[in-house]
Amino acid sequence: MNVVLMVWRQENRDTAGRLQRIEAKDISSEMSFLEMLDVVNERLILAGERPIAFDHDCREGICGSCGVVINGTAHGPRRGTTTCQLHMREFHDGQTIVIEPYRAKPFPVLRDLVVDRSALDRITAAGGFVSASTGSAPDGNAIPVAKPKAEAAMDAAACIGCGACVAACPNAAAMLFVGAKISHLGLLPQGQPERWMRAEAMVAAMDREGFGPCTNVTECAAVCPKEINLSVIARMNRDRMAAVFLVARRSPRGDTA
C-alpha cells in the first residue's frame, strides 16, 4: 500500500516546526506503525536526509515510550492500543496520515515527534510510591486485600505513563495519569499511611508542571491504551479534598497539629 505522511519536523525545542509531506510507497499492511516509520527513515537516510525522530522502546505496548497524535487522535485510530501495536492495516491505500507530537506546555518538543515527558516522572517522584520498607515479598494472604479492591488497584496500575491522556485532553490536563497513580496506591493497604500526603503532593506537582484543569470532557479515557476508567479522577478528587483535613501539618513550633 501507498500512504502520504504529513509529519511534524522540528530541529530542536527552540526552532519553529512545520509539517513535511513524505510519500511512503510499497508499505506492507502487516507492518506496525513504527515499522512503517523505520522503513521511511531507511529511505530518508539513503537519500541523505535526516530521519524522523520518534520515541519507542519495547514495541509490545507496555513501556509507554511511543505515542504520537495520528490524524488527530493520540495513538491513532484503534482503541486501547499504543502506537507500536497499531498496524498499517488500520489505514487504507492512498490515505493521508497526519503525524504530530503530543502538545502540552509541560511536554516540550525535543525533535520532530519526540517530546520531553519527564514532567510525568516529576509528578510520580512527588508521591507516587510507598516509602515504608516492606522487606521481601510477603506470604500469600498475609495482608488481606478484598478482591474488588485488588482488581481496581490493578486496573489503575496498568497505566504505562505514555501521556496520551494529556495529549487528547482539550485542556492538556494530566488528571487521568495522576488519578491512576493515586488510585493504584490508595486502594491497597501498603499505600494507606501516605495516602493523603500523596494526594496533596502529587496534585501540587501536577499544577507546578503547568498541566491544565479537568473539565470532564472524558477524551482522556477514550484514548488511553490501557483503558483506565475515569473513576480514578473522582478518587483523586476525593483524596485531595480529604487531605485538607487529614494531612498532619507542622505548626511553626515544629510539633504536628
Partner 1 sequence: MAAIWYFLRSTIGLKVVMAVSGFFLFGFLVEHMIGNLLFFLGPDLLNGYAELLHASQLFLWTARSVMILAAGFHATTALVLYLRQRAARPVGYRRTRSRTFSYAARTMKYTGPLVLVFVLFHLAHFTLGWQVTPAPFVEGDVYANVVASFQHTWVAVVYVVAVLLVGFHFIHGGHSLFESLGVRHPRFDGLIRTVTGGFAVAVTVGFVALPCAILFKLAGG
Residues that bind partner 1 (CB under 8 A): 6, 19, 69, 71-73, 98, 100, 103-106, 168, 170-173, 203-204, 206-207, 210-219, 222-223, 229-231, 233-238, 240-241, 243-245, 247, 249
Between 39 and 234, CB nearer to partner 1: 234
- DSSP codes joined into one string, 89-123: GGS-TT-EEEEE---BTTB-EEETTEE--HHHHHH
**DSSP-derived secondary structure letter, 126:** T
The answer to whether 161 and 215 have CB atoms below 8 angstroms apart is no
Whose Cβ is closer to partner 1: residue 134's or residue 208's? 208
How long, in residues, is the chain? 257
Closest contact distance (angstroms) between CB of 195 and partner 1 is: 14
Rounded to a whole number of angstroms, the minimum distance from the CB of residue 100 to partner 1 is 6
* Cβ 80 to partner 1 shortest distance, Å: 12
* C-beta of 36 vs 211, nearer to partner 1: 211
Based on CB atoms, which residue is closest to partner 1, 117 or 235? Answer: 235
**CA dist., res. 118 & res. 106, Å (int):** 9
φ/ψ bin of 30: left (φ > 0), alpha (ψ from -120 to 50), beta (otherwise): alpha
Residue with cell 501516605: 194
Q: How far is the CB of 220 from partner 1 (least distance, A)?
A: 10
